[in-house]
Amino acid sequence: MKTLRATVAIIGAGASGGAVAWRLASAGIDVLCLEQGDRLDQARSPALGHDWERALQTRFHPDPNIRRGAADYPVTAVDTPIQPALFNGVGGGLLRWGAHFPRLRPSDFRVRSLDGVADDWPISYDDLEPWYDLNDAMTGVAGLKGDPGNPPRRAERDPPLPLGLGGLRLAAGFDALGWHWWPSDAAILTRPRPGRAPCNNCGPCGVGCVRGARASADNTYWPAALAAGARLATGMRVLRLTTSDGGRCIAAIETVDRSGTRVRIESDIVVLAASGLGTPRLLLASADRHHPDGLANASGLVGRRLMHHPTAIVTGVFDARLDGHKGPFACALYSQEFYETDRSRGCVRGVQLQMLRGSGPVATALGGYMRRLDWGRGHHRDFVRQFARGATLTVTAEDLPDAENRVTLDATRADSDGLAAPRLGYRLSENSRRLLDFGIARAREALTAAGAREIAVNPLSRMAGFHFLGTARMGDDPSSSVVDGEGRCHAIANLSIVDGSVFVTAGAVNPTPTIQAFALRAADSIRARLKEHA
Amino acid sequence: MTSDATLDAVLSTLLPGDGPWPDAGTLGLAATLRADLGDHAAALHATLPPGFAASDEAARVAALRTLEVGQPALFERLIAVAYTAYYVDARVRATIERETGYENRPPQPLGYVLEPFDERLLDRQRQRAPFWRHA
């Protein structure tokens, strides 16, 4: 067995792992990051070929159980209505994402105090704001300041992306109803940066960005981290963490490289950045005599309180062509008119409405945002009626934590290296269902006001398992949380968690900016501790 | 193994020719369908009635409707790979261009025009006072 040493070892090279690697390496700290996937050459994206939509159904399919890439692990998803969507590689899930880049609101950190549900975070929006700003600067964000629905943004922005024909109609619809809308903050450049060209409005961000306009950790944090001296080991699958000092410290990370060689990693500090699915999986799989229920699991909360962003999809078909295939599919505009709690709706917390542009031919036929087109005679008539004439609003609900929604280990299924597959157990709560139904009704109103002639509703997208949150929550009390407000494990002094696992509540927006801001803040905490002990 | 003739018959039933739209079973997509079905190809073979390829359209439609109802997961996979193979085919893309105006070219490297955002669109929204909750 080979042994490697580092001051800080990071598990996972995605959104949060890349941010931590850069922050620590920039301070002169010896960093080694372990990534089970490989680098993806985005300059050779399928967007350059006619079969780019086939790539979305095969090697870029969001579900690892269908994609079955060499770096993927199986995810047992029979006890959940929402299927997993994730990607393994340098850049992680950001290699596959739509780059919508909203922050949580200040109220998202205080849901117990404000609304009497779930729990408050041990940190506030103000605590996180400097790192949100730093993350914006590193990422490159297109957008516009002045949104009355959110606190003022200090970080500079590139000009916003164009709304497109569908966005113009929806904006007019929202205005007619007197409802909020604002152009999306997008992690997509509209001005050039060194090594990255501005967006050329091509559309399918999910197959990788040829131009580097769409931010992903491999084109934002990793070039800077590697230049600062960080080491990145790809094709390295972590099998388990071992402990020492009576279980109070991580002694080593046991891994296997792509040749099958076992490699032991020893470090002063271990940072878990493997996602809200991969992190609890590793903690549970690393159970030992000091931690019989999984590492850092004295609270019993590792893997529990799993939150998704349950999503309904409401699509309007218009008489006019909208050419929705033009422009980044997930970034145009959003409405947070209904984001905050209004108990007259019969539920707590709220929803965001976010526009998705149209679909390509394959996605139109498969009903990506609508019903699948029926087969047989009449199929092509329906295709012509719908293609390039749709605009969609997603309804994203804030899922509240429930201890019974959880990630466990599958006793009978494992990845190619023998590590138990994670198993999802998730039930949509009554509150989330009511939020979605409320949001669907509002989306119908907006699309009607925008002039849609036909509206189709998917009340719960099966493919919306793109966010895994809350499975190793932060808090001040070790009996009811796994890590503290800086991501440090209560039970294991040299273990930090920086991914979506630590979320206390989920908000109703994409969590990536918050995950990365938290990771940068946690990195600064680690840096301060190392300096103190030096 | 399911024969090319059977897979072509499946494709012709799912996506029959219609005016300018080519019949999916005439495009030589059987090998692609088999490859993309993977493990599901054998299940499909085991499910289709004997003589499927030689039967008339009504019988083929009935057989596939039975499959759609009885084995929805297998059928949805079949639909996914059949629709995908069909709509990425160059001949079909050319038809889409003629019938809808969609440009028959990959998204890159040309992309589409990135028009400037017209901030006047926000005149009404800018009149609104901040409504996020301080916390």
pLDDT, one tens digit per residue, over B6-46 is 999 999 999 999 999 999 999 999 999 999 898 888 899 89
Among candidates A105, A109, A162 on the partner chain, residue whose Cβ is nearest the Cβ of B114: A162
User: Is it the case that residue A454 has pLDDT exceeding 90?
Assistant: yes
CA dihedral defined by A425, A428, A430, A432, rounded to 10 degrees?
Answer: 130
Q: What is the mean pLDDT of residues A319-345?
A: 96
Residue A472 CA to its chain's centroid (Å): 16
* pLDDT tens-place string over residues A402-437: 999 999 999 999 999 999 999 999 999 999 999 999
Q: What pLDDT is stored for residue A369 in this prediction?
A: 67
Q: What is the mean pLDDT of residues A184-189?
A: 98
Among candidates A114, A144, A175 on the partner chain, residue whose Cβ is nearest the Cβ of B135: A114
Strand ranges, E, within A191-338:
231-234, 237-244, 249-256, 262-272, 311-317, 333-335
Handedness of CA A451, A454, A460, A462 (dihedral sign): negative
Indicate the average pLDDT of chain B: 94
Q: How far apart are CA A64 and CA A278, in angstroms?
A: 13
* pLDDT tens-place string over residues A63-96: 999 899 999 999 999 999 999 999 999 999 999 9
Q: What pLDDT is stored for residue A260 in this prediction?
A: 95
User: If pLDDT is split at 50, 70 and 90, which confidence band does B135 have?
Assistant: confident
Q: Does A371 touch chain B (CB under 8 A)?
A: no
Q: Do B119 and A144 touch (CB under 8 A)?
A: yes
Q: Do A361 and B115 touch (CB under 8 A)?
A: no
Among candidates B18, B112, B132 on the partner chain, residue whose Cβ is nearest the Cβ of A151: B132
Strand ranges, E, within A477-531:
495-497
Q: Does A189 touch chain B (CB under 8 A)?
A: no
Rounded to the nearest angstrom, the minimum Cα separation between A124 and chain B is 8
Q: What is the mean pLDDT of residues A478-504?
A: 98
Q: What is the mean pLDDT of residues A375-380?
A: 96
Rounded to the nearest angstrom, the minimum Cα separation between B51 and chain A is 20
Q: How far apart are CA A484 and CA A497, in angstroms?
A: 9
Rounded to the nearest angstrom, the minimum Cα separation between A242 and chain B is 38
Neighboring chain B residues of A365 at a CB cutoff of 8 Å: 83, 86-87
**Which chain A residue shows the shortest CA-CA distance from B13?**
A376
User: Is it the case that residue A175 has pLDDT exceeding 90?
Assistant: yes
Among candidates A58, A327, A365 on the partner chain, residue whose Cβ is nearest the Cβ of B87: A365
Q: Do B117 and A387 touch (CB under 8 A)?
A: no
Rounded to the nearest angstrom, the minimum Cα separation between A361 and chain B is 6
Rounded to the nearest angstrom, the minimum Cα separation between B59 and chain A is 13
Q: Does A194 touch chain B (CB under 8 A)?
A: no
- pLDDT higher for A534 or B98? B98
| Region label for A12, one of left (φ > 0), alpha (ψ between -120 and 50) or beta (otherwise) | left
The residue among A380, A385, A389, A463 with the most chain B CBs within 10 A of its CB, best to mutate, is A380
User: Is it the case that residue A183 has pLDDT exceeding 80?
Assistant: yes
Element (H, E) at B6: helix B4-14
Angle, nearest 10°, between helix axes B30-37 and B4-14?
A: 90
Question: Residue A36 is encoded by which pair of tokens?
Answer: 């089970």
CATH 3.40.309.10 fits domain A2-38+84-533: no
Neighboring chain B residues of A385 at a CB cutoff of 8 Å: none
What is the tally of helices (H) and strands (E) in chain A? 12, 16
| Region label for A240, one of left (φ > 0), alpha (ψ between -120 and 50) or beta (otherwise) | beta
User: Is it the case that residue B98 has pLDDT exceeding 70?
Assistant: yes
Shortest CA distance to A36 belongs to which of A226, A224, A239? A239
User: Is it the case that residue A236 has pLDDT exceeding 80?
Assistant: yes
Q: Residues of chain A with pLDDT > 90: what percent?
A: 96
> Full-prediction pTM beyond 0.90?
yes
Q: Do B135 and A182 touch (CB under 8 A)?
A: no
Q: How far apart are CA A337 and CA A435, in angstroms?
A: 13
Q: With a CB-CB cutoff of 8 Å, which residues 17-56 of chain A face chain B?
A: 45, 47-54
Helical residues (DSSP H) of A178-322, grouped into ranges: 221-227, 275-285
Contacts of A178 (CB under 8 A, 6+ apart): none
Contacts of B50 (CB under 8 A, 6+ apart): none
User: If pLDDT is split at 50, 70 and 90, which confidence band does A401 have?
Assistant: very high
Rounded to the nearest angstrom, the minimum Cα separation between B75 and chain A is 11
Q: Does A58 touch chain B (CB under 8 A)?
A: yes
* pLDDT tens-place string over residues A135-162: 999 999 999 999 999 999 999 999 999 9
User: If pLDDT is split at 50, 70 and 90, which confidence band does B2 have?
Assistant: confident
Q: Does B1 touch chain A (CB under 8 A)?
A: no
Q: Does B79 touch chain A (CB under 8 A)?
A: yes
User: If pLDDT is split at 50, 70 and 90, which confidence band does B1 have?
Assistant: low
Neighboring chain B residues of A388 at a CB cutoff of 8 Å: 100-102
Q: Does A151 touch chain B (CB under 8 A)?
A: yes
**Which chain A residue shows the shortest CA-CA distance from B124?**
A175
Among candidates A109, A181, A375 on the partner chain, residue whose Cβ is nearest the Cβ of B125: A181
> Where exactly are the structural domains of chain B?
4-106
Q: Does B16 touch chain A (CB under 8 A)?
A: yes
Rounded to the nearest angstrom, the minimum Cα separation between B134 and chain A is 6
